[in-house]
């Protein structure tokens, strides 16, 4: 049975809390049972069936503690295995349906795809706070279109390095709106885990491994 890496962090937290509760109940139960045995009336010892029932409860709590510890171990192994498998992405080119791009040294680029030729394409670039920093127009050809941004804002200032998001609005000759999904493409430079998920560093953008839609070998010269 596979453990979903997305919920691994939540499961770890829940299992840890449950483990502490079970351990506390286990210790309390053991102390009460010991005190009961030490202080029972020798002339009227504990009923055998009652004693057996308490031992069964004792065994059940103990088993739950061991089960909880095993679950924590499995989750830890799952996390480690996911990160180990993701190492193979380093150096490869990946694609994802993601409208973010990193502006570094006055250079950022995005790729959007039009289902057919558009009459007009409006582009809007927003910073990480959701504020519009640049507006302009883009290519109208059907298929994949790549656009670059030099970091110049609408006010003429130069935007600082960081993560920016592109919004595309396209219409055809009839005025109908065209769907123009934006794709993040780039080379993976590092992998890490965050909140229980494996994250890839793609051109400075932190991308969840589960969002990757394509992986390609990077062509080498020669």
Say which CATH class 90-222 falls into: mainly beta
Query: Where are the domains positioned within the chain?
Result: 5-88, 90-222
pLDDT, one tens digit per residue, over 45-82 is: 555 566 556 656 666 666 666 666 655 554 444 544 45
DSSP class of 218: P
Residue 113 β-bridge partners: 144
pLDDT in tens, 112-130: 999 999 999 999 999 999 9
pLDDT at 183 over 60: yes
The CA-atom distances, in angstroms, between 167 and each of 30, 94, 109 are 63, 21, 13
pLDDT at 171 over 90: yes
Lowest-confidence segment of 58-67, 86-95, 137-146 by average pLDDT: 58-67
Token pair listed for 194:
């965050």
Closest C-alpha to 220, from 91, 72, 83: 91
How far apart CA 199 and CA 206 sit, in angstroms, is 6
22 vs 1, higher pLDDT = 22
Angle between helices 8-39 and 48-86 (to 10 degrees): 160
Please determine, for residue 163, whether its predicted confidence score (pLDDT) is greater than 90: yes
Average pLDDT along the chain: 79
């Amino acid at each position: 049975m596979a453990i979903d890496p997305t919920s691994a962090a939540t499961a770890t937290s829940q299992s840890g809390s449950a483990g502490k509760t079970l351990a506390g109940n286990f210790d309390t139960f053991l102390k009460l049972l010991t005190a009961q045995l030490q202080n029972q009336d020798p002339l009227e010892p504990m009923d055998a069936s009652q004693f057996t029932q308490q031992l069964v409860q004792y065994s059940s709590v103990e088993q739950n503690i061991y089960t909880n510890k095993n679950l924590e171990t499995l989750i830890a192994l799952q996390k480690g295995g996911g990160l180990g498998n993701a190492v193979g992405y380093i150096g490869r080119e990946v694609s994802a349906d993601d409208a973010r791009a990193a502006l570094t040294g006055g250079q950022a680029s995005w790729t959007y795809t039009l289902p057919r030729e558009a009459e007009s394409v409006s582009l809007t670039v927003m910073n990480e706070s959701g504020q519009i920093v640049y507006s302009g127009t883009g290519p109208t050809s059907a298929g994949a279109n790549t656009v670059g941004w030099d970091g110049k804002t609408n006010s003429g200032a130069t935007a600082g390095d960081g993560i920016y998001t592109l919004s595309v609005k396209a219409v055809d000759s009839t005025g109908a709106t065209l769907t123009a999904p934006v794709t993040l493409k780039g080379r993976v430079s590092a992998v890490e885990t965050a909140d229980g998920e494996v994250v890839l560093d793609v051109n400075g953008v932190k991308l969840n491994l589960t969002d990757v839609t394509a992986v390609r070998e990077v062509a080498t010269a020669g």
